[in-house]
A and B are shown apart, each in its own frame.
Chain A
Amino acid sequence: DTEVTQTPKHLVMGMTNKKSLKCEQHMGHRAMYWYKQKAKKPPELMFVYSYEKLSINESVPSRFSPECPNSSLLNLHLHALQPEDSALYLCASSQGHLSGNTIYFGEGSWLTVV
């Protein structure tokens, strides 16, 4: 099983709302990631969690708040977003930080900020 599950698949939220994106994997992977992908653009790294600790934050605005409650779950809390934050948010996981690890992506959550 090489599945990374993301919910919800689609989310529409107002600029004053608070919402969360969720990601789950049961492959025993210890590294999990959030990527953002705008239309017709490649994915861009936002955060990396390694062994449930935040190891990389690519200078993401604080209106995006990641959380890793345990080794299988990764959340992205959203608050006071802007319309330009509308994008496909992709979660991914890999066995660890070692070079040989394939990274597996979920289907993504489409976010629209109105």
Chain B
Amino acid sequence: KQEVTQIPAALSVPEGENLVLNCSFTDSAIYNLQWFRQDPGKGLTSLLLIQSSQREQTSGRLNASLDKSSGRSTLYIAASQPGDSATYLCAVREERMEYGNKLVFGAGTILRVKS
């Protein structure tokens, strides 16, 4: 059974710092990995999607890497801002025979950026 772990569970940093969020998964048979952001009481916003054949994806101040063989992904946030404060979730899509995506989520990292 696929298990996804995110470290740290919570992180508090001053504004302007560069930071790294970690995600690990136990079964390397994945199609892709997706990073999401969730604000309190809200839905999930997709940040980056990395295919299993890719090593990294970038969007603005965000960079996500994937090492499928070792079961690891990192989300790098450059020059953090208070508006980045949220819960960050990583999710892997399992290889399954059925149609449809099954995402297995990590428990998330709660990020607080202090001004």
Contacts and interface: CB of A to CB of B under 8 A. Distances in A.
B81 interface: no
Contacts of B49: 100, 102
B28 interface: no
B20 interface: no
A48 interface: yes
Which 9 A-B pairs give the minimum distances between C-beta atoms?
A48-B100, A42-B105, A99-B31, A50-B99, A105-B44, A97-B99, A107-B43, A55-B99, A105-B43
6 contacts: A6-B43, A33-B101, A42-B91, A51-B99, A97-B101, A102-B46
Nearest to B106: A42
Contacts of B100: 31, 33, 48-50, 55-56, 97
A33 B91 CA distance: 15
Interface residues of A, number: 32
Contacts of A114: none
Interface of B: 31-32, 34, 36, 41-46, 49, 51-52, 89, 91, 93, 98-103, 105-108
Contacts of B44: 43, 90, 92, 105
A100 B34 CA distance: 10
B43 A99 contact: no
Nearest to B47: A102
Nearest to A54: B100
Given A6-B43, A99-B32, A107-B42, 7 more contacts: A42-B105, A45-B102, A48-B98, A56-B100, A99-B51, A103-B101, A106-B43
